[in-house]
Amino acid sequence: MPTHELILLKNMSTPGYTGSLADYERAGGYQALRKVLGKIAPADVTEMVKKSGLRGRGGAGFPTGVKWEFLPKDYQGPRYLCCNADESEPGTFKDRQLMERDPHQMLEGIVITCYAIGAEIGYIYIRGEFVLGAQILERALGEARAAGYLGTNILDTGFNLDVWVHRGAGAYICGEETALLESLEGKRGLPRVKPPFPATHGLYNKPTVVNNVETLANLPHILNRGPEWFASIGSPPRSTGTRIFCVSGHVKRPGNYEVPMGITFRELIFDHAGGMRSDKPLKAIIPGGASAAFFTDQHLEVKLDFESVAQAGSMLGSGGVTVMEEGTSMVWAALRLMEFFYHESCGKCTPCREGSSWLVQTLRRIMAKRGRHEDLDTLTELCKNIVGRTICAFGDAEVAPILSTLQYWRHEYEELIEAAEAAELITPEPALARH
């Protein structure tokens, strides 16, 4: 039922499109590259991307062109692009589709980016579980090398680039850009202390840009059709272009939906994803992946752009929209996410490491009807002691589900606690098992 033009998902929506180089070229692929390489100065490419208003699609929404500009101008020596394809945010599955169904779209974006930032080596850090994606990318890289889109002297412009696929080994934290770099260097994937930022001290301590798959996939289109065109889509000036929202949960048609930013949650859920799966009304929405604070049915009119979602108290994040119907236990939902964060906390810094285990145990206890009223104050305070005190954004993410469910559905916690008091069940659980 889309009433707008598809950009990123257009090719793969065409019947018979296989994602091969031939198909991609037939659909107008690698034209942007021909337009750019050797014809537009790298600084001008960056300027165009800035003008388009493109912001990172990985979660933080940082303006892409500005990020590129942070690389030191006069640095002699290698610099790198790392494509963050470690899509691990629960409820998010857009990058996987972009890579598996239309790999060359992203590759073209990678070549353009490397040209703009002066990198001669690019890495695609792909989530370890995406075996198929990694195979498809390897095949696509082979095609691109054979066709002269990668390698030495690309399109006779003197520009050299090679791109390598590196598979992760199954840690959520490696989607955090500095942990990704550590992992890529062959070390344990733990976030680095910032500053310094990757722009100056990234991979192997060299200037590095880390961009998300969807972000890179947008670039050929921006350069083909101009930054003004891109900036006119969505809700300019701060949220331009389309976004792929991954709708999951209790809806009729879960899936990836590419829509211009700025449509409302109601439109996304009811017009695109077919509405609720049963006659139960909508109860809660996770607006942007597991790290985003929950919304209620009161937020259906909030627009899906960076500012509106932030103003309403959450974040657009990775674009993973999870919908829950009436009857879902919000304590259970929070616990389910907390179990994930507990499992994935890397353990490098104290508040997140110790906090996640404390929070999950307390939530488990409440859920098992062994909670106490003072637990709710403890939960709130522990969350406050984690936010802003950790090395990376993981700490902020892990407390969002708890704080938001406590804010909107505190009574559900209290009901479980009252049930516990009635049954006098307040003995602790057995010791944490090993992972």
Partner 1 sequence: MADVAIETVTLTIDGVPVTALKGTLVIEAARQMGVMIPHFCYHPKLKPDANCRMCVVEIEKVPKLQTSCSTPVAEGMVVRTATTVVNEAHKSILEFILANHPLDCPVCDQGGRCDLQDFSHESTPTTSRFVEVKRIFQKEYFSPLIETEMNRCVQCLRCVRYCDEVMDVKALAPSGRGTMTEIKHFSIHELDCEFCGGCVQICPVGAITSRLSMYEFRPWMLKRADTICTYCGDGCQITIQTKENELIEVNSSHGAGRNNGDLCPRGFFGYHVSTHPDRLQHPLIRRNGALVQTTWEEALEFIAETCLSLKLAHGPTAFAGLIASRCTNEDLYVFQKFMRLVIGTNQLDSSARYGHINGVRALLRVQGTHRWTIAFEDIVSAHALLLVGTNITETNPITGLKVKEAVKKRGAVLVTVEALQPAIGTISNITNLAAHHVTAHPERFGDAVLGLIKGVVEEGLVDPSLTQRAPEYVKAISEAVRCLPWSAIEQATGSTSSALRAAARAFADAPRAVILVGQGVLRAPGGSGVTTTLLDLLLLTGHHGRPGCGLAPLAEENNDQGAVEMGTVAEFLPGPGDLTDQAVRERIAGLWKEELPQTPGRTLMEILDDARAGTVKVLFVVGENPVGTLPHAARAKEALERLELLVCQELFLTETAALADVVLPACSYAEKSGTFTNTEGHVQSVRQAIEPVGESRPDWEILSALSVLLGYPIEYREPREILKEIRSLISGYGLLGPAPIPPRPDAAVVEGYLKKGFAEDVTSRYSLSSSTDRQAGNLTLVVAQSLFHSGKLSTRAKGLLELQKAGALALNPADATLLGIAEGDQVRLSNARGQMTTSVQVRDRVPEGQAVFPEHFDQEVRRLLSVSPDPQTGAPYFKTTQVKVEKV
Note the residues at the interface with partner 1 (CB under 8 A): 171, 188, 193, 342-351, 353-358, 361-362, 365, 378, 385, 388-391, 428-432, 434-435
Cβ nearer to partner 1, comparing 89 with 214: 89
CB-wise, 105 or 183, nearer to partner 1? 183
b (16+ CB within 10 A) / e for 132-167: ebbebbeebbebbeebebbeeebbeeebebbbebbb
CA–CA dist 400, 384 (Å, integer)? 10
Helices 330-344 and 350-367: crossing angle in degrees, nearest 10, is 150
Listed as own residue / partner, the contacts of 145-149 with beta carbons closer than 8 Å and 24 or more positions apart are: 147/21, 147/30, 149/30, 149/33, 149/107, 149/108, 149/111
CA distance 181 to 210: 9
Distance of closest approach, residue 75 Cβ to partner 1, in angstroms: 17
Helix (H) or strand (E) holding 81: strand 80-85
Q: How far is the CB of 335 from partner 1 (least distance, A)?
A: 14
Minimum distance from residue 380 beta carbon to partner 1 (Å): 12
232 or 385: CB nearest partner 1? 385
Q: Partners of 259 in the beta sheet?
A: 243
Q: How far is the CB of 148 from partner 1 (least distance, A)?
A: 37
Instruction: Tell me how long the chain is.
Output: 435
Least gap, CB of 174 to partner 1 (angstroms): 12
List, in sequence order, the alpha helices (H) in 62-102: 64-69, 94-101
Q: CB-wise, 107 or 352, nearer to partner 1?
A: 352
Nearest CB to partner 1, comparing residues 47 and 354: 354
Instruction: Note the helical H segments in 14-76.
Output: 21-26, 31-36, 42-52, 64-69
In whole angstroms, the minimum distance from the beta carbon of 206 to partner 1 comes to 15
**Cβ pair 299, 308 in contact under 8 A:** no
- The single residue listed with the structure tokens 């933080």 is 60
Nearest alpha carbon to residue 199 among 318, 66, 76: 66
DSSP state of 328: -
Kindly tell me which of 252 and 373 has the beta carbon lying closer to partner 1: 373
Nearest distance from residue 387's CB to partner 1, in Å?
9
d(CA 170, CA 130): 10
Q: Which is nearer to partner 1, 163 or 402 (CB)?
A: 402
Nearer to partner 1, 41 or 169 (CB): 169
